[in-house]
Amino acid sequence: MKVAVVGGGPGGLYLASLLKQLDPAHEITIWERNAPDDTFGFGVVFSDETLGGIENADTVIFDGMQQQFARWSDIDIHFGGTKQTVGGQGFAAMSRKDLLLLLQQRVHDLGVHVRFRTEAPNVAELAATHDLVVAADGLNSRVRNQYATAFEPSLDTRKSKFIWLGIDRAFEAFTFIVKRTEWGLMQVHGYPYSATESTFIVELHEDVWRRAGFDASEFEAFAPGVSDERSVERIREIFAQELGDATLLTNNSKWINFTTVRNERWSHNNIVLLGDAAHTAHFSIGSGTKLAMEDALALAATLHEQPDVMSALASYERERRPVVVSTQRAAQASLEWFESIGQYANQDPLQFSFNLLTRSRRITFDNLALRDKAFARAVQAGFAELVGGYPDTPALFQSHKIGGKLELKNRIVVSAMDMYSAVDGLPGDFHLVHLGSKAIGGAGLVMTEMIAPSEAGRISLGDAGLYTDEQAAAWRRIVDFVHTNTSAKIGAQLGHSGRKGSTKRMWEGMDDPLNEGGWETLAPSAVPYGPESIPPRAMTREDLVRIRNEHVAATRRAADAGFDLLELHVAHGYLLSSFLSPISNRRPDEYGGSLENRLRYPLEVFDAVRAAWPPDKPLIVRLSAHDWLPGGNTDEDAVEIAAAFIAHGADGIDVSSGQIAKAEKPAFGRSYQTPFADKIRNRIAHATGVTVIAVGAISSYDDVNSILLAGRADLVALGRTHLWDPQWTLHAAAHLDYHGSAAQWIAPFRAGSRKPPAARTDGVRPRLELLRTEVPNPETTHTRWIGGLVTSVQDKEPVAV
């Protein structure tokens, strides 16, 4: 093939070297606008997984890199006057300049032609004269921009500012310095990349950046290669204690807003994107160089394996996109965590450190326990001390009191799930078995489905209600069963369907209107939920009063039925939620317009329900924290909305998201809604003693423990997980070897509390070795990078690299 590579960074150079090795007949030319010894940045970090791929693909490059590596396994977190050290991670880093020189030499030896200080010809010309054009020209890719209609890029410029610096001292570990200043929190991401130097990235929210005076150079234009020395000097002053006698190093160092790059397509005809031109991931989760070199390996392999260029490019994208999407998802969580770092300013240092380490949701408590048992034990004991619990008890089995009124034996909630199985609003034997089995399964709190305050407030004909005394008596039967047979608590979720009512049962057609037996639906404005939905009628003043009174009557029936807790449903686009969202509320009166006005009716209903609900029982609110639509509410609005309900006496906030309109585009993923709960808890709720519940795509006890230990929520609600395994909580206790009162099997089921034997578990293996051999630990828990050597903290013996 005849190949043109636009961009002589690590990705482009590595691709050229691999292609040339696979077929020396390839004619490859690289155009690089900079000189061979020009490089921006300091160190680059690689994972063991990536290094394994490099070693397999090109031992010459790997051997050259290995001679340059700084290696260590520790992470040091400086916060609140303390230093927490976590081991067992495994890092390798080297100078970006040394890496470029190594790759340049490699492609030179292989016969690749590199044109330094030369702009590439027009891409259309290259595409016409070459079999393949590779755009490895970085974040501001000229190739991508020229063919934007084909690649459909999206560039998300973030809120925080960062500046890339170095210091002339080698950190011993990956180092996070989070410093409280009079202007707000500032953080340093630091790591060694040689025996004498380290990367030193300073990052801070734009508000903190401005308050600290860094915006003095905001409109100053710096020539390429020129650093913002005024800001660098200011950083020297602020971090004087942390720097000590180390000198800050600059290299084109100026303030930048990180930009996340995504593309709908990575190839167009015979043009393909690679590295930062195709995608970026925040530096707090990994290296762009690492991703680019992984791209290069995958592209070279598919070009070699497939019969033609088009097939190879399709295969390349199929193979790499899921990996990149996964990395970007983790990176997005990480960068948003650092953008919101100010909300953790008063967190306990140990909990803060665990929070930081698990920010991307890729690392969990169990992951850390495998790597550093001592740190994991300290985190669990620290959490127990914070909540007044037992140090050896897993977080999910620590008790919790809601609003100082209701004590739960553990922190697991069975989330409200509509079963569409009531008859004329009456819960029956199905509901008794469904909710009773979940209570028997060990959860601390079991929530009913959304219960309608009126016949017209139901979602479907199969929804349960609390608008008759007969319904209240049926609920009393279920509540009594839970209280008599288990130590769980049971809560009722009360809500009106609004414009999402008069629809079929879920399995008959989600949100589809009823063909027969339907009813008129109401909403703040006559705006349908989706294109196929029946338009609702805009509510009159009489409707507002009547529906508020229906909520009050249902609340009294819930109290008479003996429920331990009441949750007002102000989420998922149902009636009260539709008042909050500007997507569905377009009223011209005092109930529409500003957020204050949109809150007015939900708060009126809440106040009326609060007055009718027993004062010694908790009342909580379920909120949608994000509409997932342009022009809708965001998590920032959710903080203000939650604060309003807390000010009116809410004992808890149950944080969900979305379902305000059919056109929504949620960013689904594991625990994807937890950051919303985290923001509400750490900005407003925790200081007031209000409980926050996290929900949404949480299924493992490890994730639950990690959420709780990091202080992201007080309780965790699981829905579909409990349909899969009604005994989820008890099984979690068995896996965690917990045998306390927070997870007790009821007496009739106790004989089944031991896991049944499976196939071949009765097989006992014979001894087949004459002499037993000790299996050496390949890596001690803690290693540091000191003076160019990897040093074990445990045995103090240096290991040559």
Q: Give how far Cα 663 sits from Cα of 193, 513, 532, 660, Å.
A: 47, 17, 12, 9
Identify the H or E element spanning 784.
strand 783-786
Strands 619-624 and 652-656: parallel
Whats the size of the chain, residue-wise?
801
Looking from the CA of 286 toward its CB, the CA atoms found within 13 Å total 27
Strands (E), 64-129: 70-72, 75-79, 82-86, 91-95, 113-116
Q: Count H helices, E strands: the chain?
A: 26, 32
Is 701 labeled as catalytic in the residue annotation?
no
Token pair belonging to 647: 């000010």
* CA 366/CA 351 separation, integer angstroms: 15
The DSSP symbol for 38 reads -
Other CB atoms within 10 A of residue 512 CB = 14
Residue type, 387: V
Residue type, 632: G
Active site residue: 344, 574, 591, 701, which one? 574
* CA 282/CA 290 separation, integer angstroms: 12
Which residues are within 8 A (CB) of 674 and not within 5 positions of it... i.e. 6 or more apart?
361, 694, 696, 698, 707, 712, 713
Token pair belonging to 737: 């070897």
Q: Which of 77, 85, 84 has the alpha carbon at shortest distance from 177?
A: 77
Identify the H or E element spanning 261.
strand 256-263
Token pair belonging to 218: 């905001």
The DSSP symbol for 131 reads S
Identify the H or E element spanning 630.
none
Identify the H or E element spanning 565.
strand 565-570
Q: Give how far Cα 145 sits from Cα of 122, 123, 263, Å.
A: 12, 11, 11
* CA 643/CA 636 separation, integer angstroms: 11
Can you list the pairs that 393-396 forms with residues at least 24 positions away whose Cβ atoms lie under 8 Å? 393/738, 393/740, 393/742, 394/701, 394/705, 394/736, 394/738, 395/365, 395/704, 395/705, 395/708, 395/709, 396/701, 396/704, 396/705, 396/708, 396/716, 396/729, 396/732
Helices (H), 463-514: 469-485
* CA 590/CA 172 separation, integer angstroms: 60
What is the CA 540 to chain-centroid distance, rounded? 41
CB burial readout 345-359, b (16+ within 10 A) else e: eebbbbbbbbbbbbb
* CA 6/CA 146 separation, integer angstroms: 13
Following CA atoms 340, 341, 342, 347 in sequence, which dihedral angle do they give, to the nearest 10 degrees? 130
DSSP string, 171-226: -SSEEEEEEEETTEEEEEEEEE-SSS-EEEEEEEEHHHHHHTTGGGGTT----TT-
Q: Are 576 and 570 in contact (CB under 8 A)?
A: yes
Q: Are 695 and 704 in contact (CB under 8 A)?
A: no
Q: Which residues are catalytic?
A: 574
